[in-house]
Each structure stands twice: as C-alpha cells, then as structure tokens.
C-alpha cells in the first residue's frame, strides 16, 4: 500500500509539472500567427507513417540512420512496458498485462532485446559525440550547453535501459526463487539472470524494486526534462511531420496582407469600405522581424528540431563558406521565443527589450546567402521547412526596411519603371535586331 501511495504521488507530481510546462508552451504558441488550415488528413497520416514511424528520410545515411531508427522503434515497443508499470504502480499488481498471452510474450521479448540494443547504440552515440569529431555536430549555434544537453539526455536513456534490463533480470530471479511462473519472455534478461544463480529471493526482490523505481522515476524525470532539451523532438517530431507542408518544396506562399493590398489596387472602392462589425483594423507587419511575427508552424519547427545538422551539412551556401546555417536559423527562433515570450505574456504583446530576432540573432548576410534550393528541407528527417522562415525575414528586409541588396533594388526599380528586370524600356527591347535581315526559307 505504501508503494502505491508513493507511486501515485510521484505520478501526480509528474503530471502536474508536465501540465505546467504544456500550459506555458500553449501560451507561447498563442503569441504566434496563423500558418495554414490543416486539411488532407489521409495524406498527412501517410506522410507520418512513412517519415516519422518508418524513418525513411533518416535512412539516407544508412548506418547511423538505421542505428537511430532502431532506438526509435525500440522506444515504441518499450512504451507498452511503461504503461504496464503505471498500472502496476497504481493498483499494486505485477505484470498485469500478462493476460495478453502470446501478444505479451512477443511485445516484452522484443522490449527486452530492444533495451539491450538501445543501451549499446546510445553508448555508441555518446562515444561518437565525446570522442569523434563529427563536423555537423559543430557550428556557431552549437554552444557548450547544447553538447552537455545532448550528453545528459543520452545518459538518461542509457540509465533507463540498464534499469529496465535489471528489473527484468531480478524479476526472473525472484519469481524462480519463489516458485512462481515467470510472466513473459525475456531473452537477454534470462542470460543475465544466469550470472546471479545463487542469489536469494529476498535479495532479488530488493534489486528488482531498486531497478523498478529507478526506471519509472527516470521516465517521469525524462518526460519533464525533454521540453527543455534538444531531445524535445521525442514528443514533437511525430506531430511536426503530421503537420508538414504538403506543397511541393520550393512553392512559396503569398502574403495575405499583400494579396489584400493588390485586390484593393484593382478595386479602389474597397479601400473605403468600413470594417465589419467587431473587426478591428490593424496595421500588419510585412514579413518577420521578431518572434511575434512567426507562424505557429515556424515555432513548432524550432521545438521539434533535433539539432542533427543534416540541413546545414547539405546547404550549398554553408559548404562554400558563407555564414548561413539553416540549423542556426531554426534554433534561433526557439532561443528568441524562450527569451522574449514569457515577458510578452507577462507585460503584453507590445513589450519590447529593444532586441529582435532579425539583427540581434540572425543577420541579413545569413539570410541573403540562402539560394532557396530547399536542400535543407529535403534532408530534414522530421520535415522542418527552414526556407519558409528565411523567406519571411527577407520579406521584412525588403518591404519594411527597403534594405535589399543593390542588385535586387535595381531589378525592383526596373520592374516598376520598365515592366521587366532589364534596364531599358519595353519599346526598346527589339533594338538589338535593327539591321538584321530575314532570309526567306528555300523552297
């Protein structure tokens, strides 16, 4: 009974903290602007099954991609065991889902094997991060705390897998010692149990409880650590893929406020129409200057980002030595919202700290280095659309600050004056052909 009470309190605290974090995130999302109406649910489900669950995009790097996919699939299988632990903890039962029979055997045998594989793979990931100089793990945006954060998250995962294997191992020893039937099949834990053949039932039970509590409390802690970590993608990647941009890469969206202005130019009478009742006429900003201008999808992309660096590693601008790093752009959105968002919630949306996403975090030089080739969006394993936010910030530079590069300003002037990007009038376009004679075709 004491165990149930302690577990219930632990679960209640975990849910409470998670609800508090979720409430804060919802408040931050409310600061953002609309993105698109979610439709085509069938297509979205298909994309989610293929990209998120099938891990198809991450497999473009076959070895490390398959390693990561095994960890992901392993977590999905082990999730069933975590659900069982919550039920057991609340009701004082043990292996309560055992009535599933063969299904239980398959799930928990798979979970036991995956726990061992994940432990090995995570240890390899840690070694890779600490001892190997992987180029895409570095960059100006990858501060020391980013590397520490990654190592902490991987260490927690390793501990979770070790405690899971320990829990299964000492469960087998305890059940065998007491003459009870072992519920489920545990291929790896059975091997480990053979190493402790002379252990008494009481000792096995003690170690089982230590590992059981270590595992479940580790899960509770990890669940509340993730939203503040780069590994938040554990929660956000599937929703982010589901809410992917379904348009072909490279298709640029029109700005609604600009479309409205054009329509008003075509119908001048519309400019004098009174706004509808209850509708306030507000002056909208063109493009993105700061986080209150980004869409909810831009912000979701920043939360889902795994910081893997695949986008930057294929960026032609970055590869040629320019400042642009698509990963940095996405990370800066999350960092800026973390800094400014809470103050805006507290003091109102007009609150300012005299800083902005554009300028203080991201420079115009970075933005204009982008060729909008969409290699980054094509490569991202969770379908983040990096060019979308880059394009919107460039729109602000051009339309609000009139600070486009000189070459673009010349093109804009030519289009305005000549109806074409070239520096001569439409009437002069055929001057190059003066003096040329057309020979009639031979009959």
Residue 186: closest CA among 109, 82, 80, 100: 109
Whole-number pLDDT of residue 315 = 96
- Determine the pLDDT at residue 343: 95
Query: Quick one: CATH architecture of 256-269+284-418?
Result: Orthogonal Bundle (1.10)
Residues across the chain: 443
Identify the pLDDT of residue 440. Answer: 56
**pLDDT tens track for 380-407:** 999 999 999 999 999 999 988 888 888 8
Describe the crossing of helices 296-304 and 326-347 by its angle, rounded to 10 degrees: 120
Question: Rounded to the nearest 5 degrees, what angle is found at the Cα of 179, between the Cα atoms of 175 and 182?
Answer: 40
Low-confidence residues in the chain, pLDDT < 50: 443
Burial of residue 316 (number of CB atoms within 10 Å: 0-12, 13-18, 19+): middle
Domain ranges (residues) in the chain: 2-30+61-242, 256-269+284-418
Alpha helices in 183-307 (DSSP H): 187-194, 201-225, 233-242, 256-266, 296-304
User: Which residues face 33 on adjacent strands?
Assistant: 295
pLDDT for residue 439: 65
Q: What is the pTM of this model?
A: 0.88
Percent of the chain with pLDDT over 90: 71
> Distance between the two ends of the chain, CA-based, in angstroms?
105
Q: Which bin fits 245, alpha (ψ -120 to 50), beta or left (φ > 0)?
A: beta
Per-residue pLDDT, 266: 78
Instruction: Give the pLDDT confidence score for residue 270 in this predicted structure.
Output: 63
In this prediction, residue 262 carries a pLDDT of 78
- The whole-number pLDDT of residue 24 equals 96
CA distance 300 to 310: 18
- pLDDT computed for residue 221 by the predictor: 96
pLDDT of residue 374: 95
């Amino acid at each position: 009974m004491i165990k149930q009470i302690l577990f219930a309190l632990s679960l209640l605290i975990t849910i409470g903290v998670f609800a508090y974090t979720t409430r804060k995130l919802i408040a931050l999302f409310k600061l953002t602007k609309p993105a698109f109406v979610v439709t085509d649910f069938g297509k979205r489900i298909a994309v989610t099954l293929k990209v998120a669950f099938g891990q198809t995009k991450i497999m473009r790097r076959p070895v490390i991609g398959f390693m990561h996919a095994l960890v992901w699939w392993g977590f999905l299988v082990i999730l069933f065991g975590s659900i069982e632990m919550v039920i057991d903890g609340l009701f004082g039962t043990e292996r309560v889902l055992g009535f599933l029979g063969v299904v239980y055997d398959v799930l928990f045998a798979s979970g036991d094997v995956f726990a061992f594989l994940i432990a090995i793979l995570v240890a390899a990931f840690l070694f890779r991060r600490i001892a190997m100089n992987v180029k895409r793990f570095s960059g100006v945006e990858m501060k020391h705390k980013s590397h520490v954060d990654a190592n902490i998250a991987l260490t927690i995962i390793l501990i979770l897998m070790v405690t899971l294997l320990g829990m299964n191992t000492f469960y087998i020893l305890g059940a065998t010692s007491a003459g009870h039937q072992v519920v489920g099949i545990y291929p790896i834990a059975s091997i480990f149990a053979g190493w402790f053949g002379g252990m008494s039932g009481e000792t096995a039970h003690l170690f089982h409880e230590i590992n059981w509590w270590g595992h479940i409390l580790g899960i509770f802690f990890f669940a509340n650590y993730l939203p503040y970590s780069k590994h938040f993608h554990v929660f956000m990647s599937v929703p982010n893929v589901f809410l992917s941009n379904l348009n072909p890469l490279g298709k640029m969206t029109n700005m609604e406020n600009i479309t409205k202005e054009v329509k008003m130019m075509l119908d001048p009478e519309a400019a004098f129409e009174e706004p509808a009742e209850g509708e306030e006429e507000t002056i909208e900003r063109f493009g993105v200057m700061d986080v209150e201008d980004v869409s909810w999808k831009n912000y979701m992309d920043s939360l889902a980002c795994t910081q893997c660096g695949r986008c930057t590693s294929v960026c032609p601008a970055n590869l040629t030595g320019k400042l642009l790093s698509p990963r940095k752009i996405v990370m800066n959105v999350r960092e800026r919202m973390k800094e400014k968002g809470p103050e805006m919630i507290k003091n109102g949306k007009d609150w300012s700290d005299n800083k902005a996403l554009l300028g203080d975090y991201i420079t115009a030089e970075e933005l204009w280095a982008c060729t909008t080739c969409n290699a980054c969006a094509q490569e991202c394993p969770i379908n983040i659309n990096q060019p979308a936010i880059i394009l919107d910030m460039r729109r602000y530079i051009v339309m609000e600050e009139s600070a486009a590069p000189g070459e673009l300003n010349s093109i804009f002037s030519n289009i305005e004056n000549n109806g074409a990007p070239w520096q001569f009038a439409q009437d002069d376009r055929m001057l190059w052909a003066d003096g040329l004679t057309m020979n009639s075709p031979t009959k």
